[in-house]
Amino acid sequence: MNYYNQEVETMHHDKLKLLQLDRIRLVVKKVYDNVEPYREKMRAIGIRPADINDLSDIEHLPFTEKQDLRDNYPLGMLSVPNSEIVRVHTSSGTTGQRSAVGYTQADLDAWADVMARSLVAGGCTKDSIVHNAYGYGLFTGGLGANNGSERLGAMTLPVSGGNTSQQLQLLKDFKADTICCTPSYALYLADEMKKQGYDIKDLALKRGIMGAEPWTEEMRQEIEKRLGLKAYNIFGLSEIMGPGVAMECSQQNGMHIWEDHFLPEIIDPKTKKVLPNGSQGELVLSNLTKTGMPLLRYRTRDITSLDDTACPCRRTHIKMNPLVGRSDDMLIISGANVYPSQIESVLLSSELADYIEPHYLIVVDRENNRDRMEVKVEVKEEMVGASEAIANRIRHNVTSATGISAKITLTPPNTIQRSQGKAVRVMDNRKNGANGINGVHEKEGG
């Protein structure tokens, strides 16, 4: 079994808890002393750093919301003077205004370490050749994966997003065994590979380190089949660090959250009460080691659950299950809640695999005061004639999975826009979209 830092990754969980307590106390004191918005929040609820004596006491600490970062944009939440900051990143702005994050050199070092740890959990070694197709720039994906790969000592190709023909050529020339990219880009790459006459044997890919957007188990299987690799789920967010907050191991069933750096909780988004392990709710993360801009109880708006059962890989760090989605992506259609991932599971199920391509778009409208959901999905070339029967089957399956009757539109192959970064799965055209997002945003993330 391969670890990057065996001692930490397999540390007894009780010891890990003690480490977390020591670290969170330092962070609380640091932000209380140095960050005005935190001091105000803590004073308002009458809590002081000395009140944190047990991990359960963190329930009394204030939350940090996306809006706090927006209100203090760009760098009003730093715990150190600007002169200590060596790098700035921003979030991708998927759900609105971007937030900015400042990193000290120590933060960049810790990030490279957790990212290196993540790559090793996915099977990389110092002998790996890593083709990094996450976008370089303000988006954390590119530089985050890059620096972790270099920290590990792997041969790193800083390819960035876009220019797919060149990517294929590079994959062939350098024989990378590892590709880092979003799951939707992996599918796009597989499409282009076929179109441009490459054979899977021209490439030497063994594994993909894939994240930055929600994807289902069905999508994983499709990617693994088409690219002939193992696809591992990696999770991260810029506000907390970037990619490498959590990563799957060889088990491919949940991502170990690196608990010596990040403290996870799951809350009920409505009552804001902490839920027991196993319950589904909103992921809340606190930084334990960040020095530039540590955040307390950051509400990620990502919906998942924690899994504290022992993992055969012997890593002791708690796992988070694949994300159901972002609470912002939850559609409320005629009063019922639907996540795009529920529809993806239906479309990519083995039952439909012979008939449709894994490219889809969900369009929501309001007509005569009634919500209407349309699912557009590409039909396979050879199936174009049989569309009606296929559409009926999909309609039936979507209704049983979500309780909603959707209009199913089958479109010819290659008609739904491909994503080079984070995929856009939903177009909500309702004037006052129930989830507040309308239409398509411009995003990076490739």
Contact residues toward Zn ion (CB under 5 A) are 249, 311, 313, 315
Least distance to ligand ADP from the beta carbon of 373, Å?
Answer: 22
| Residue with Cβ nearer ligand ADP (149 or 216) | 216
Report which residue type is found at 249: C
Q: Which of ligand ADP, Zn ion, none does residue 323 bind to, with CB < 5 to 8 Å depending on kind?
A: ligand ADP
| Residue with Cβ nearer Zn ion (249 or 285) | 249
Q: Which of Zn ion, ligand ADP, none does residue 123 bind to, with CB < 5 to 8 Å depending on kind?
A: none
326 binds ligand ADP per the rule CB under 6 A = yes
Write the CA distances from 438 to 331, 375, 423, 432, integer angstroms. 11, 17, 15, 8
Applying CB under 6 A, which of residues 160, 164, 300, 316 lies at the interface with ligand ADP?
300
Least distance to ligand ADP from the beta carbon of 445, Å?
Answer: 6
Ordered alpha helix ranges (H), 309-382: 340-347
Write the CA distances from 50 to 142, 158, 293, 405, integer angstroms. 39, 45, 21, 55
Give the total of residues touching ligand ADP (CB under 6 A).
21
Least distance to ligand ADP from the beta carbon of 66, Å?
Answer: 8
Listed residue (228, 231, 185) closest to 208, CA to CA? 231
DSSP string, 148-186: HHHHHT-EEE---S--HHHHHHHHHHH--SEEEE-HHHH
Is residue 357 within 8 Å of residue 319, measured between CB atoms? no
CA distance 110 to 265: 21
123 binds ligand ADP per the rule CB under 6 A = no
258 binds ligand ADP per the rule CB under 6 A = no
Applying CB under 6 A, which of residues 237, 318, 346, 379 lies at the interface with ligand ADP?
237
Is residue 262 within 8 Å of residue 330, measured between CB atoms? no
Write the CA distances from 336 to 30, 107, 401, 402, integer angstroms. 43, 42, 12, 8
Is residue 60 within 8 Å of residue 49, measured between CB atoms? no
Handedness of CA 237, 110, 19, 257 (dihedral sign): positive
420 binds ligand ADP per the rule CB under 6 A = no
| Residue with Cβ nearer ligand ADP (190 or 424) | 424
Q: CB neighbours (10 Å) of residue 30?
A: 17
CA distance 118 to 151: 11
- Which of the ranges 14-22, 44-52, 193-201, 233-241 carries the binding residues for ligand ADP, by CB under 6 A? 233-241
143 binds ligand ADP per the rule CB under 6 A = no
319 binds ligand ADP per the rule CB under 6 A = no
Q: Which of Zn ion, ligand ADP, none does residue 281 bind to, with CB < 5 to 8 Å depending on kind?
A: none
CA distance 115 to 93: 22
Residue 406, classed as helix, strand or coil, is coil
* Residues 6+ away with beta carbon under 8 Å from 436: 328
| Residue with Cβ nearer ligand ADP (255 or 347) | 255
Least distance to Zn ion from the beta carbon of 319, Å?
Answer: 7
With tokens 């192959």, the residue in question is 413
Q: Which of ligand ADP, Zn ion, none does residue 300 bind to, with CB < 5 to 8 Å depending on kind?
A: ligand ADP
213 binds ligand ADP per the rule CB under 6 A = yes
| Residue with Cβ nearer ligand ADP (324 or 410) | 324
CA distance 41 to 260: 26
Q: Which of Zn ion, ligand ADP, none does residue 168 bind to, with CB < 5 to 8 Å depending on kind?
A: none
Burial class of residue 209 (count of CB atoms within 10 Å of its CB; 0-12, 13-18, 19+): buried
Applying CB under 6 A, which of residues 103, 134, 232, 235 lies at the interface with ligand ADP?
235
238 binds ligand ADP per the rule CB under 6 A = yes
Applying CB under 6 A, which of residues 148, 214, 264, 340 lies at the interface with ligand ADP?
214
Applying CB under 6 A, which of residues 79, 146, 233, 435 lies at the interface with ligand ADP?
233
302 binds ligand ADP per the rule CB under 6 A = yes
| Residue with Cβ nearer Zn ion (83 or 309) | 309
Applying CB under 6 A, which of residues 122, 142, 148, 211 lies at the interface with ligand ADP?
211
* Residues 6+ away with beta carbon under 8 Å from 369: none
- Which of the ranges 20-28, 201-209, 218-226, 228-236 carries the binding residues for ligand ADP, by CB under 6 A? 228-236
Least distance to ligand ADP from the beta carbon of 213, Å?
Answer: 5
- List residues near ligand ADP by CB under 6 A: 91-94, 139-140, 211-214, 233-238, 300, 302, 323, 326, 445
